[in-house]
Structure 1
């Protein structure tokens, strides 16, 4: 073992200047794509929403296209950076551009409020615009950090942002057409999909509110069956 040459896992291996606070913060911004993948996996597993799964599929297609573009263009990274692989376009910039533009399209185009219901209170326009701006701002910060850390040139980052945005719009249109043609509804009825209990309700139902209402109904049912929590019986003892 002492003669074994160890390798570094480059997935989260980020070069930064420890004497520079901004460089230190940029190193954390470089981990945003990995963090978003964790968020994707958590939400898909916990909600079983087709909307989130489709967004993740588009995100992975975006990554695959970035992989192909880098090997087609074969443009090197800045000389001051010793990172591996080609630099055109920036995969970080493309990743966050896809996510932020997809989020904006969902909030401003797909998530059209149809009025309040018992289990759904839609976000107002101001809230949806604010969330969209925050998402775009966060994406811009991640993209800028790649230039600051000298992992990419401004041109590589700009192309990455453009590619991610175009793919996001294209994927949004593809999914919309699939919905209109009934392809998504058909897919959700397939046995393998039903096995995982996938659904398509995120626009119509507030997941937190719906879960809370079921919890409240369960508590009311228990109170009705027991005659109330803490009710005193004839012998003076409390019923639990």
Structure 2
């Protein structure tokens, strides 16, 4: 009997021209959404910050919107591309547009870190530079979808517009949740207490998390070591 034909798991299966170095780079850029999902999971588990959880919830809602739009519009991918599924709008472009714009809105309008004795937080100019870098990276990922012929120009532009629009809507929604007290109410819920959810990143850099306690512990160890000698 002939062995059964095997299927390909297309989650990270990217077509590119092996003789084109820029095409190879674009193939790696196509993995950015998967990488960002790993970043989301890592930060949510390690920091337990509710802001990151809210951002990830918006990211998943944006993906659901893309799934619905593709099946409503039903526009095929470019003919020279052998990829499966509909192409309008580009899910990659929509994903990175939401991520980069929501991050920009957070850094410029919500994040206000305070200095501590052991840490100087990022300035507004530094946060602006980080925002520009995030937006430029999103543009590179979006362009890679055109270069690899997975999408047309219009499909990528619509994906960017949908992701950006949803980022603004979701940022406004989370702002409303905060101002109305729903976020604080949720953090006081017993389930949130079990998972140790917190809301510190608004006023505190992630880099500062636990640093003051570590510096205090390090100074005490140094003083104890000198006493012994």
- 1:1-240 aligned at under 5 Å gives the runs 3-112=3-112, 115-118=114-117, 121-222=120-221, 227-228=224-225, 231-232=228-229
Q: For residue 228 of structure 1, give the secondary structure of its aligned residue in structure 2.
A: helix
1:236 paired residue number: none
Shift of 1:211: 1.3
* Cα distance between partner residues in 2 of 1:36 and 1:24: 20
- Say if 1:104 and 1:207 are closer, same or farther in 2 by CA, change over 3 A: closer
Contact 1:76 1:88 in 2 (8 A): yes
Task: Decide whether aligned partners of structure 1 residues 217 and 116 sit closer, same or farther in structure 2, where only a CA change above 3 A counts.
Answer: closer
Instruction: Tell me the TM-score normalised to structure 1 length.
Output: 0.90
Distance 1:189 1:230 in 2: 44
Q: What are structure 2's unaligned runs of at least 5 residues?
A: none
Q: Distance in 1 between matches of 2:206 and 2:173?
A: 25
Give the structure with higher Rg (CA). 1
Q: What CA RMSD, in Å, does the superposition of the two structures yield over aligned residues? A: 1.8
Once residues 198 and 61 of structure 1 are traced to their aligned partners in structure 2, the CA distance between those partners, rounded to angstroms, is 21
Query: Aligned residues, how many?
Result: 229
Shift of 1:22: 0.7
Deviation at 1:122, TM superposition (A): 3.2
Q: Secondary structure at the match of 2:210?
A: helix
